[in-house]
């Protein structure tokens, strides 16, 4: 699978190939063999070049939240194929279709901004999640109707948990 990730203003092409129990990860032209052990839903142990990294990883639709050694990184990342399709959209044209709004990392639901059956526009605020002492308003990526709300205000959620479904 091929991805495009952006970190500190620079784009990186990442290609991931499964080779038995290992993964070959090519970042631009640099190849790494990575042994991965999934400890919990979002906690992974990576063995790269003989060095072990315990990492909390939560993938969203357009980004990946990574916690390594107590330091958090938000990395915009997209499948290369999806990125090319988005680039083909006219500027300002919203993506239509099913949207699954997920928690970018473990946190607490602060406020639900929509109700089932409500129509939303691209960029409309849907839900507010507090994670790492910061409140984040998650937004609809395109127009649609709220079909499901799978959480309650004040409740904790795991990273990657589905919060709201829009169709």
Q: pLDDT for 20-67, tens place per residue?
A: 778 998 999 999 999 988 888 888 888 998 999 888 887 666 677 888
Does residue 160 carry a pLDDT above 80?
Answer: no
Q: Which of 29, 57, 81 is the last residue of a domain?
A: 81
Is 50 part of a structural domain of the chain?
Answer: yes
Is 103 part of a structural domain of the chain?
Answer: yes
Is 88 part of a structural domain of the chain?
Answer: no
70 and 6 fall within a common domain: yes
Distance separating alpha carbons of residues 65 and 43, to the nearest angstrom: 12
Distance separating alpha carbons of residues 9 and 125, to the nearest angstrom: 26
CATH number at 77 reads 3.30.700.30
Is 87 part of a structural domain of the chain?
Answer: no
What is the number of structural domains in the chain? 2
pLDDT value of position 91? 47
Domain containing 158 equals 94-166
Distance separating alpha carbons of residues 33 and 146, to the nearest angstrom: 42
Q: Are 114 and 133 in contact (CB under 8 A)?
A: no
Query: What's the mean pLDDT when you consider all of the chain?
Result: 83
Using pLDDT thresholds of 50, 70 and 90, give the confidence band for residue 158: confident
77 and 99 fall within a common domain: no
Q: Is the pTM of this model over 0.85?
A: no
CATH number at 148 reads 2.40.50.100
Strand partners, 131: 134
Spatial CB neighbours of 128, under 8 Å, sequence gap ≥ 6: 109, 110, 111, 112, 113, 135, 136, 137, 138
How far, rounded to the nearest angstrom, does the alpha carbon of residue 101 sit from its chain's CA centroid? 10
Q: Which of 81, 105, 138 is the last residue of a domain?
A: 81
């Amino acid at each position: 699978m091929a991805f495009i990730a952006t970190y500190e203003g620079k784009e990186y092409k990442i290609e991931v190939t499964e080779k038995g129990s290992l993964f070959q990860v090519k970042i631009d032209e640099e190849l790494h063999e990575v042994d991965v052990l999934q400890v919990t839903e979002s906690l992974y142990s990576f063995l790269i070049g003989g060095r072990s990294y315990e990492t909390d990883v939560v993938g969203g639709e357009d980004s990946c939240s990574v916690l390594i050694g107590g330091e958090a990184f938000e990395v915009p990342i997209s499948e290369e194929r999806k990125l090319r399709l988005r680039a083909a959209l006219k500027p300002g044209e919203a993506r239509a279709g099913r949207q699954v709004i997920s928690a970018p990392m473990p946190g607490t639901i602060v406020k639900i901004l929509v109700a089932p059956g409500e129509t939303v526009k691209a960029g409309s605020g849907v839900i507010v999640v507090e994670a790492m002492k910061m409140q984040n308003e998650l937004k609809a990526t395109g127009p649609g109707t709220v079909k499901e709300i799978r959480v309650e205000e004040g409740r904790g959620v795991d990273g990657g948990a589905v919060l709201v479904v829009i169709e």
